[in-house]
Amino acid sequence: MKIAVLSTNTKLYSTKRLVESISQRGHEAVVINHSLCHVLIEEESPVILYKNKLIEGIDAIIPRIGASVTDYGSTVVRQFEMMKVFTTVKSQAILRSRNKLRSLQILSKAGVQIPKTVFANQTKDIDRLIKLVGGPPVIIKLLEGTQGVGVVLAESNKAAKSTIEAFYGLKTNVLVQEYIEESNGADIRAFVVGNKVVAAMKRQGVSGDFRSNLHRGGKAEALILQPHEEKAALQAAKALGVRVAGVDMIQSNRGPMIMEINSSPGLEGIEKITGVNVADLIIGYIEEKIRADEGDTIGV
């Protein structure tokens, strides 16, 4: 098979690991910078051009779409879908996962437990928003943001109002979310491939920072999930249609609460902390799905 990794940087750990695993399993690996692709739309003939050359012969793609190019990257993935190329994450799933409000709405409808969250369009009744999630401290989040950027803990009513007003002043809408104190600045990253949680780690934020992201100096340790935690991770990934996902959750007195589903989860932290060859499992998942699709075709 010829498998393409959609990535803007060939030097990234995740990109390199995927290329290595593709080659080690006997396939041809290519890296395509999706931001440089041209999408040609015409009747019954979807085409993608890369560096002025027609992209042909791709059997599967692994989208590694950065937050800064979500819309365009999703458009390129959608074009591959129209060309009948298998993708580990579909374009619609990428868009759903990147919009925090939309993803929480979908998770809520699917019965997945999430922190109480409120959203309003530039309202003046900020006190009401804060009360709806149980009062301070509260978490304030931009609708789009990654690696802990655009996430603020407001420990008092005054701080919350000031922060929300500041975001509104920038014409930016935010989510206001209840703060789960018992999580103690820690969360769990469960890595889902297909219908399995293949690896998990517990991340702890640095002292004084409630965010646990490794990019922000957090520490991590390998973790074996409890059955109810694994079930929550799989349910969340399925609800958003993200079959290769990093599912972030926190432990609460009410059980595991899903915080976010990452459709382009990094491999470096999870592989180094757990020792699991996640990249290889992703390629194995592609092989399994394509064999299944070919079997369905033969059956017809």
pLDDT tens per residue across span 114-141: 999 998 777 778 888 899 998 889 999 8
The pLDDT confidence band at residue 56, using thresholds 50, 70 and 90, is: very high
Alpha-carbon dihedral 239, 85, 30, 16, rounded to 10 degrees = 10
Q: Which range scores top for mean pLDDT: 23-27, 156-160, 177-181?
A: 23-27
Q: What is the pLDDT of residue 169?
A: 83
pLDDT tens per residue across span 207-263: 555 554 555 557 889 999 999 999 999 999 999 999 999 999 999 999 999 999 999
Q: What is the pLDDT of residue 182?
A: 82
pLDDT above 80 for 148: no
The domains found in the chain, sorted by start residue, are: 2-88 (3.40.50.20), 97-101+103-111+182-280 (3.30.470.20), 116-179 (3.30.1490.20)
pTM score over 0.85: yes
Going by C-beta distance under 8 Å and a sequence separation of 6 or more, which residues neighbour residue 293? 86
pLDDT tens per residue across span 254-271: 999 999 999 999 999 999
pLDDT average, residue stretch 72-88? 96
